Amino acid sequence: MSFEASGEVAEAVRGNAPVVALESTLISHGIPRPDNLLLAYEVENAVREEGAVPATIGMVGGVVKVGLSKGELEILATEDGVPKLSDRDLPMAAAKGSHGATTVAATAHLASLAGIRLFATGGLGGVHREARESWDVSADLGILARTPVAVVCSGVKSILDVPATLEYLETLGVPVVGFGEGNFAGFYLSDSGQPLDWHVESEAEAADVVRAMGGLGFGGTGLVVSNPLPEGSQLDPRLHDEVLTAGLCDLEKLGVRGKEVTPFLLGRFHERTGGASLAVNKEIIRRNARLAARISVALSGGSDAKPA
């Protein structure tokens, strides 16, 4: 078998108990060592504290694990050269018996296969700034058009073309909703500057949106829940813009392309902000995991569920 859910996760899904999927690319490629492994454990604990079961997803020895054990998480966090797997990479990696860190696209696909409806990450992938030339549009967007998983995120990564990404989500018919007031979240920044048409005021209301999607024929479509950081916790916007401009320039000079682009730019931030971007990145992941857990608890609350 190339697909295994842990006993705890399988039991929770069977009993319609709250479960939150978590990705592994940010562990292997998004957050530097040793913070990455500590964060992975910490985020799982945060999900538990909110009353849900964490299911961190990744591939170990060609087997997809939904609910990685501590030891398996350690492999993905500490081994060199763990490949970054998008959804389309999964069959080949499985056939070769490879390890792999799953992106949002791969994790959402596998979460849905396991029957999990809520997923938390830092920031979604999207349309890259130079996409007119490179055609670099993350597979994260396409998967949300065809996978019934709600992703709680701090918007899309601020290294991207945010307005173009929102247009693309609209074209794909993927619903986007803000948690609380305000514009679409800006990843390292609280505010991407892009307005949203819809907001929910509570976890219960977010759960109602997920239920309504089921009842309205969106049973195969994802949902983006944007959870902005409070302004006091964001990265200094001037520092952000400085580091980004230099990073984009280096991308071109060094010829960094394809799946290396995102880890390269995030790495630049972590090197050039004296640890500030790392602290923010960890904070958004923790907050999004907690919110996803609370929404999954509301969604499992069954008895007071409104008919869809």
Task: Indicate whether 25 belongs to the interface with ligand PSU (CB under 6 A).
Answer: yes
Measured from the CB of residue 83, what is the shortest distance to Mn ion in angstroms? 14
173, 221 contact by CB (below 8 A): yes
Binding track over 50-89 against ligand PSU, x by CB under 6 A: ----------------------------------------
44 labelled catalytic: no
Task: Indicate whether 28 belongs to the interface with ligand PSU (CB under 6 A).
Answer: no
Task: Indicate whether 136 belongs to the interface with Mn ion (CB under 5 A).
Answer: yes
Task: Indicate whether 140 belongs to the interface with ligand PSU (CB under 6 A).
Answer: yes
Residue 125 or 222 with smaller CB distance to ligand PSU: 125
Residue 50 or 136 with smaller CB distance to Mn ion: 136
Annotated active-site residue in 65, 84, 157, 282? 157
SS3 for the chain is: CCEEECHHHHHHHHCCCCEEEECCHHHHHHCCCCHHHHHHHHHHHHHHHCCCEEEEEEEECCEEEECCCHHHHHHHHHCCCCCEECHHHHHHHHHHCCCEEECHHHHHHHHHHCCCCEEECCCECCEECCHHHHCCECHHHHHHHCCCCEEEECEECCCECHHHHHHHHHHHCCCEEEECCCCCCECCECCCCCCCCCEECCHHHHHHHHHHHHHCCCCCCCEEEECCCCHHHCCCHHHHHHHHHHHHHHHHHHCCCHHHHHHHHHHHHHHHCCCHHHHHHHHHHHHHHHHHHHHHHHHHCHHHCCCC
Residue 85 or 295 with smaller CB distance to ligand PSU: 85
Residue 187 or 296 with smaller CB distance to ligand PSU: 187
Of 49, 51, 70, the residue nearest 6 (C-alpha):
70
Task: Indicate whether 100 belongs to the interface with ligand PSU (CB under 6 A).
Answer: no
23 labelled catalytic: yes
Which residue's beta carbon is nearest to the bound ligand PSU? Answer: 122
Region of 71-79, 102-110, 143-151, 193-201 interacting with ligand PSU (CB under 6 A): 102-110
HSE, side-chain direction, 13 A CA sphere, residue 220: 4
Task: Indicate whether 262 belongs to the interface with ligand PSU (CB under 6 A).
Answer: yes
Residue 156 or 299 with smaller CB distance to ligand PSU: 156
Measured from the CB of residue 134, what is the shortest distance to Mn ion in angstroms? 8
Task: Indicate whether 140 belongs to the interface with Mn ion (CB under 5 A).
Answer: no
Region of 25-33, 56-64, 197-205, 239-247 interacting with ligand PSU (CB under 6 A): 25-33
Q: Interface residues with ligand PSU (CB under 6 A)?
A: 23, 25-26, 29-30, 103-105, 121-123, 125, 138-140, 259, 262, 266, 281, 285
Catalytic (active-site) positions = 23, 157
